[in-house]
Amino acid sequence: MSKEDSKPSIPGAGSSVLWGLVGLVLFAVPLVGVACGIVAIVKAQKARALLQDCQEEYLGEATARLGFRLGVTAVIFAHLCYLVVAAWLRMGMVS
């Protein structure tokens, strides 16, 4: 077993992926997708900051990066969904 295999994962990196996935699944539910995406972004940023300070102690930079990207995607999808609903309601009110 090498020294690389014995390192623990960064705290918060795995949960950022989980929050990002929940945000992507629930992006159409009002405010849930945005909230989950923001939590994923914050957790990923904290994990990346911790990794910067203690790079020799932890593994999982790719996991934190994935959590960040999933969180950003969830927030973007939720906002696009809000825009589509607003446009649809606007078209219904004009006619």
Residue 77 pLDDT greater than 90, yes or no? yes
Counting beta carbons within 10 angstroms of the beta carbon of residue 89, is it exposed (0 to 12), middle (13 to 18) or buried (19 or more)?
exposed
User: What is the rounded distance in angstroms from the CA atom of residue 40 to the CA atom of residue 59?
Assistant: 18
Counting beta carbons within 10 angstroms of the beta carbon of residue 91, is it exposed (0 to 12), middle (13 to 18) or buried (19 or more)?
exposed
Place of tokens 């906002």: 79
What is the residue range of 21's domain? 11-94
Q: Between these two residues, 64 and 8, which has the higher pLDDT value? A: 64
pTM for the structure as a whole: 0.84
Is residue 60 assigned to a domain? yes
Is residue 1 assigned to a domain? no
pLDDT reported for residue 94: 58
Cβ proximity of 51 and 10 under 8 Å: yes
Residue 22 pLDDT greater than 90, yes or no? yes
Number of domains in the chain: 1
Is residue 83 assigned to a domain? yes
